[in-house]
């Protein structure tokens, strides 16, 4: 995993987990990798991953079964969409809008690009 410049690492790991859930690679009621496994895989301090898991628990995206580990919540998909949408509107959209404004583009201009992107990556 390549970490970006701007966001705290524990939040970037939260995004990574959300992406796994949104892409349905990790399904509801399935066990998620342990703190240690994820720390080794991402080459980060286990305390950082612990923080991610605590955060995702608050967001009700994963839950803890004492002594067994962490699991994907039954309604993780909705929760992850809700969380990521809020993040996207607050953080990514302003940048996009700024560029669109500078370039004199309107939202309708994006449609063909969006369709093409979907074709290329998720068809």
Partner 1 sequence: MVNIQQLHFGYRKKKVFTGLSLQLQPGHIYGLLGKNGTGKSTLLRNIAGLLFPDQGSIDVMGFTPGKRQPAFLQEVFMVPEEFYLPNIPLQAMVSNLSPFYPRFNQQQFDTYIREFEIPVENKLESMSYGQKKKVLISFGLACNTSVLLMDEPTNGLDIMSKSQFRKVMAGAIDENKCVIISTHQVKDLENLIDRITIIDEGDILFDQTIDAISRKLSFRISFDQEEVKRALYSESSLRGNAIITSNTDGEESKIDLELLYKAIVTNRQPIHSAFNS
**Residues making contact with partner 1 (CB under 8 A):** 3-12, 36, 39-48, 51
Closest approach, Cβ 36 to partner 1, in A, equals 6
Report d(CA 104, CA 113) in Å as an integer.
16
CB of 47 to partner 1, least distance (A): 5
Q: Please identify, using beta-carbon distances, which residue of 3 and 77 lies nearer to partner 1.
A: 3
Question: What backbone phi and psi angles, to 5 degrees, belong to 13?
Answer: -70, -35
**45 or 78, CB closer to partner 1?**
45
Note whether 20 and 52 are within 8 A (CB). Answer: no
Q: Are 84 and 108 in contact (CB under 8 A)?
A: no
Q: Which residue, 101 or 117, has its beta carbon nearer to partner 1?
A: 101
Q: How far is the CB of 117 from partner 1 (least distance, A)?
A: 26
Q: What six digits make up the tokens of 73? A: 């919540």
């Amino acid at each position: 995993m390549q970490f970006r410049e701007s966001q705290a690492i524990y939040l970037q790991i939260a995004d990574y987990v959300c992406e796994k859930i949104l892409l349905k690679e990790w399904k509801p009621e399935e066990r998620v990798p342990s703190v240690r496994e994820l720390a080794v895989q991402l080459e980060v301090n286990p305390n950082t991953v612990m923080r991610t898991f605590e955060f995702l628990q608050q967001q009700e995206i994963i839950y803890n079964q004492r002594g067994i580990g962490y699991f994907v919540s039954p309604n993780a998909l909705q929760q992850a969409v809700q969380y990521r949408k809020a993040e996207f509107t607050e953080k990514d959209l302003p940048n996009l809008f700024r560029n669109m404004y500078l370039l004199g583009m309107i939202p309708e201009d994006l449609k063909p690009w969006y369709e093409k992107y979907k074709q290329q990556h998720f068809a």
